[in-house]
């Protein structure tokens, strides 16, 4: 279940998954989601990501909102990723 933390600007809102603590920004203007942690669709393969070298072999993962997040890693490439990082409470690397 997602809990609204704040509205960053019109149609751009910051949420936190109440179970996992993952913070994410939903950008209703572009249709993009932003998080501080690399993620794949829930139907993806964590073992494949590790085997191919995209994720560390010891990476800790968390399932939330239809995605699998690598909480052992942080990747922030824009302002909205960074905002999500500041509010994330997943227990992983920040």
pLDDT in tens, 26-63: 999 999 999 999 999 999 999 999 999 999 999 999 99
Confidence class for position 92, pLDDT limits 50, 70, 90? very high
The pLDDT of residue 50: 98
Mean pLDDT for all residues in the chain: 97
Contacts of 86 (CB under 8 A, 6+ apart): 23
Q: Where along the chain do its domains lie?
A: 2-87
Contact 63, 42 (CB under 8 A): yes
pTM: 0.93
Dihedral of CA atoms 27, 18, 72, 68 in degrees, nearest 10, equals: -70
Token pair 């209703």 in the structure block, residue: 28
């Amino acid at each position: 279940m997602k809990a609204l933390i704040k509205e960053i600007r019109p149609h751009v809102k910051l949420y936190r998954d109440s179970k996992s603590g993952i913070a994410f920004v939903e950008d209703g203007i572009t249709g993009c989601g932003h998080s501080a942690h690399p993620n794949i669709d829930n139907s993806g393969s964590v073992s494949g990501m590790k085997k191919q070298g995209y994720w560390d072999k010891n990476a800790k993962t968390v399932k939330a909102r239809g995605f699998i997040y690598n909480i052992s890693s942080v990747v922030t490439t824009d302002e909205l990723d960074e905002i999500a990082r500041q509010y994330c409470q997943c227990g992983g690397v920040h």
